[in-house]
Homo-oligomer: A and B are copies of this chain.
Amino acid sequence: MPFITKQFKFCAAHKYWNDNWTESKNIEIFEDDVKVHGHNYELDITLSGHINEESGFVVNISKLKHVVNKYVVNILDHTEIQKDIKWFSGKQPSTENLVLFIWEQIFDRIPDGAKLYKIKLRETPTIYTEYFGPHMEIK
């Protein structure tokens, strides 16, 4: 079983703010991130599955692109995440939360019987988060 990865990109803005905290606590924890800023996000979707002998593919990439564009890229691209996406109400727009959101959006929609294995979201050239789903736990 090989694992195949397709990368997607989107540009979004965000800021961090916790209404339950004082202003100084927000600044202490979130530092400059309390101000609106943005990123070129790079999203790697990794699937596992058996190779279809007739096509040589684990998954039809065109179908995968349709799903990820419809349920993730078109929703997050050109937004101010914490303000425009309802799921983030009461949550911080961190990459840690974003991978959970993205997992929920596509987990049940992977085409061709393939299985979502990993989501990797790069926020900056030096920071990224990976997620293997709610059932994966490191011993």
Q: Does A75 make an interface contact (CB < 8 A)?
A: no
Q: Count the A residues whose beta carbon is within 8 Å of the partner chain — how many?
A: 68
| Residue interface mask A7-35, B partner, CB < 8 A = 1 | 11101111010101100000001111101
Chain A, interface SS category: mixed
Identical copies in the complex:
6
Residues of A within 8 A of B (CB): 1-9, 11-14, 16, 18, 20-21, 29-33, 35-40, 46, 48, 51, 53-58, 60-62, 77-80, 84, 91-97, 99-100, 115, 117, 124-132, 136-138
Neighbouring B residues of A61 by C-beta, 8 Å: 127
Which one of A38, A92, A93, A126 has the highest number of Cβ atoms from chain B below 10 Å of its Cβ? A38
